[in-house]
Amino acid sequence: MVVRGRRPLLAVVDCEPGPLVRDPLTAPQAVSIAALFKALSDPVRLRLLSLIASHAGGEACVCDLTPAFEVSEPTISHHLKVLREAGLVTSERRASWVYYRAVPDALTGLSQLLDATTAQG
């Protein structure tokens, strides 16, 4: 499913992403994967993803994330939106708080893409 012009990594790489060193990327794959790297290229977003993925139970409330940063809550919300639109996290509202989870398939796909040890030789 397209989310504001972006597709999750696995939708573009056909559920079987291979390492970059094995098969060259197509132009559409490169565009989609570049969007993921762009989402991860900001230190705040990278830290947010790490905090969410490593949080107890694999999910974190925005109220747990905000104190770890010296930026405003609206800025944190913007960064979380970028991660969500890239397909790296999902969110769920519970009462007045929003909880975030890392998307395991997106992280696995990204990991496999970068894994040069699985290259066929």
pLDDT tens track for 40-66: 999 999 999 999 999 998 899 999 999
In the chain, domain spans:
9-13+27-116
pLDDT at res. 85: 95
Report how far residue 108's alpha carbon sits from residue 9's, in angstroms, rounded to the nearest whole number: 10
pLDDT lower than 70: segments of the chain? 1-22, 116-121
Q: How many CA atoms lie within 13 A of 43 on its CB side?
A: 4
pLDDT at res. 76: 95
Name 60's bridge partners. 100
pLDDT at res. 53: 93
pLDDT at res. 113: 80
CATH number of 9-13+27-116: 1.10.10.10
pLDDT at res. 65: 94
pLDDT at res. 70: 94
pLDDT at res. 30: 85
Q: Which of 70, 61, 5, 58 is nearest to 31 (CA)?
A: 5
